[in-house]
Amino acid sequence: MVRLVFVALANLLLLIRTLLGLPFRLLASRHRPTYVRFRLSGDLAYRERRRSRWRWGLRGVAPEPATVSSLESFREALGLLAKDPRVQGILLELEGLAVSSAKKDELVKQLMAFRSAGKRVVGWAVSVDNLGFQVLCAADEVLLAPAGRVDLVGYAAEATALGEGLARVGIQAHFVRRGAYKTAPELFTHERVSDIQQQTLEAFLDERYAELVNAIAGGRKRSPEEARALIDAGPYSAQRAVAAGLVDALCSEAELPARLTPRPPEERKKDEEEPEEPLEAMESWLAALPFPPVKWRPLRRRPKLGLISLSGMIVPGRGSSGPIGPKTAGSDAVVKAVRAAGRDKRAKAVVLYINSPGGSALASELILEAIQRVARKKPVIAYVDQVAASGGYMAALGAQEIWSSPHAVVGSIGVFAGKFEASGLMAHLGIHRTLLTRGENAGIFSVSRGFTPHERASLEAEVEETYQAFLAHVAKARRRTTEEIHARGEGRVYSGTRGLAAGLVDRVGSFEEACRYALERAGVKTERFELALYGGAERRVSLLQLLLSGARTHLYAFCPTAWALTEQGGLEPRDRFD
């Protein structure tokens, strides 16, 4: 009853504010923009985080008015503009766009839906790379600044082997692994990159390259052969990009209004000494609507969908979230978040967002057990848009279904363990250590020597036991035999598409589709729902702490490095969904 009173008062205030502004909006409606400007920059959130306006003032980092903050807000804005007969289209500015492949696909999908409503999309950039150019290929017209560039060069990935370099400074890496495809220790043990590591990377390069070729062929109306030739001839200056047909024309930012909304010659001559007004952002269009959409407070609360983030290397304890030092997912923090989502009666279902390359086997199993308990009470869907491998994949097994984007990294069912020996480095520095033990394996963690035959045998047995337990977890969750999972295991990694074919993934789709499906499994069918994030890291950890902890023998369920292919071959983890 109290809620009804507050909702009624809130809606009454909204109505009064709307009516008071009506005369001003009627005056402004005659000048409602025909093109609305949007700016895509950095990484976009999946959904809007509600922030107080005054926080921007304190931080001094308020974004430009046209900057898109989330895929959700962009989709809603395009939906409103598509219904306005006065609106001809949008201007899409790209500046340093850095989203995952899954988010890029969602942007392209939204732009194509907007075009199908009879509206135009005009893309503009100063400098654009492979990712940004794929987004621009979804536009009707592509414009580039006269001093701009199109860094269309294809994809590269650099694999590194540090074995010889570590040996030169007196450090030896001693690792035991289960599976020829569990190549993570090779970074420290091998002098050269192995054939298996190279083949693994090339499989992902082939998929990303094919996607880039298809985007250029479809967007610029070229054959696949012509698209590949265009990539081979990159990068491009602005003039070369126009000549090659990658962009339609060169246009400075100041010239954009005149190009999109041309005026009669007499008006241009009259105002030729006055600068063109910049294109309006979405806020200006909304302010010029006589009856803008009002977000009325619903009498009933929206359905609540729980969201749990498992991002970074999985470690025991609380984990960390930076900004200084690497991001880790602590088992204590994640388990607490899972339990909180399970206890919340308003959360009808849970989405487990995973962007983790794995980590501690023990911590991964603790997280898996917690997720399994919640999944017995309510629907839990795991979603991967970048990487869920080994420990990350193990955690996903607790969900009823695993969803993935097409180019995410999944799998890597395997185990390795080891330590670094620094006896050579200590001798070079004049450091002398004497190891005294009581017990055959008492010195197994020592960095002053390698493994004894007895210690290595013990470690191999533990790694094998952990691997068999991993196989059993996957076999049970995926309803397969351990032999079938072993054939897909031993460290093999898959893209989301290949993981679907291998039976390691249930569906390939978007984050929004996974959210709606989770609610549908709970019997809730709605496009509007409240996304509630549970948990978060409680402290920070430095890179030095991780390196020091790596000097001891640990069991890992996967390589501690998450990677994403870029046009420069960079390996960079990132995630954002809030």
CA–centroid distance for 566 within its chain? 13
Q: Which distant-in-sequence residues (6+ apart) come within 8 Å of 178 by Cβ?
A: 414, 415, 416, 463, 464, 466, 467, 490, 491
One of 182, 304, 327, 348 is an active-site residue; which one?
182
> What would the two tokens of residue 117 be?
């409503």
> What would the two tokens of residue 419 be?
């330590």
HSE, CB side, 13 Å, CA atoms: give it for residue 315.
Answer: 21
The full length of the chain comes to 578
Strands 89-97, 172-178: parallel, antiparallel or unpaired by DSSP?
unpaired
Using the structure block, give the residue that is written with the tokens 């989770």.
518
Q: Would residue 390 show up in a list of annotated catalytic residues for this protein? A: yes
DSSP calls for 29-55? GGG--SEEEEEEEEPPBSS-----HHH
DSSP state of 415: E
Burial group, residue 243, by CB count within 10 angstroms (0-12, 13-18, 19+) = exposed
Instruction: Report which secondary-structure segment, H or E, holds 382.
Output: strand 380-389
Q: Which distant-in-sequence residues (6+ apart) come within 8 Å of 342 by Cβ?
A: 350, 373, 374, 377, 378
Q: Which amino acid is at 457?
A: A
Q: Would residue 327 show up in a list of annotated catalytic residues for this protein? A: no
Q: Where are the alpha helices (DSSP H) in 353-490?
A: 361-375, 391-396, 423-428, 453-478, 482-488
CA 555, 558, 563, 569: dihedral to nearest 10 degrees?
Answer: 90
d(CA 572, CA 395): 22
Instruction: Report which secondary-structure segment, H or E, holds 409.
Output: strand 409-411
336 touches 366 (CB < 8 A): no
> What would the two tokens of residue 431 be?
């450091």
Closest CA to 560 of 575, 549, 576: 549
Degrees, nearest 5: CA angle 472-473-474? 90
553 touches 564 (CB < 8 A): no
> Which H, E and C letters describe 95-127, residue by residue?
EEECCCHHHHHHHHHHHHHHHHCCCEEEEEEEE
d(CA 374, CA 361): 20
One of 100, 356, 390, 412 is an active-site residue; which one?
390
Using the structure block, give the residue that is written with the tokens 């920070």.
540
Degrees, nearest 5: CA angle 553-562-392? 70
In this structure, how many other beta carbons lie within 10 angstroms of the beta carbon of residue 69? 16
Closest CA to 214 of 224, 225, 203, 202: 224
Q: Which residues belong to the active site?
A: 182, 390
